[in-house]
Amino acid sequence: HTNAQYQMHTGEQTFSRPSIGSWLLYGLGSTNRELPGFVVISPGPAEPGQGPPTYASSFLPGEFQGTRVADLAVPIPHLANSKYSAEAQRAALDFAQRINRAHRTGREDDLRLNARIESFELGFRMQSEAAKVMDLRGESPATTKLYGLDDPKTETFGKQCLMARRLVESGVRTVSVYHVRNEFGPSHNIWDQHTDLRKVHHANAYSIDKPIAGLLEDLKGRGLLDETIVLFGGEFGRTPTGETNDGREHHPFGFSMWMAGGGIKGGIAHGATDEYGWYAERDKVHIHDLHATILHQMGLDHEKLTYRYGGRDYRLTDVYGRVVKEIIA
- Reported as a single tens digit per residue, the pLDDT across 13-39 is 987 899 999 999 999 998 888 899 999
Cα separation, 290 vs 292, whole angstroms: 5
CB-based burial label for 11 (10 Å; 0-12, 13-18, 19+): buried
pTM of this prediction exceeds 0.85: yes
51-88 tens-digit pLDDT:
888 999 999 998 899 999 988 888 777 666 667 777 88
C-alpha span between 316 and 260 (Å, rounded): 22
Q: What is the model's pLDDT at position 127? A: 75
What's the rounded Cα separation, in Å, for the pair 234 and 327?
A: 20
- What is the C-alpha to C-alpha distance for residues 138 and 132, in angstroms, rounded to an integer? 9
The whole-angstrom separation of Cα 166 and Cα 160 is: 10
Question: What's the confidence (pLDDT) of residue 47?
Answer: 64
Residue type at 9? H
Name beta bridge partners: 41. 69, 177
The sign of the dihedral angle between the CA atoms of 242, 243, 244, 247 is negative
Cα-based torsion angle of the residue sequence 281, 286, 291, 292 in order, rounded to the nearest 10 degrees: -80
Task: Say how far apart CA 72 and CA 80 lie, in whole Å.
Answer: 16
Specify the pLDDT at position 178. Answer: 92
The low-confidence residues of the chain, meaning pLDDT below 50, are 183-188
Angle between helices 197-221 and 152-169 (to 10 degrees): 30
Helix (H) or strand (E) holding 4: helix 2-10
In 3D, which of 87, 17, 7 has the Cα closest to residue 49? 7
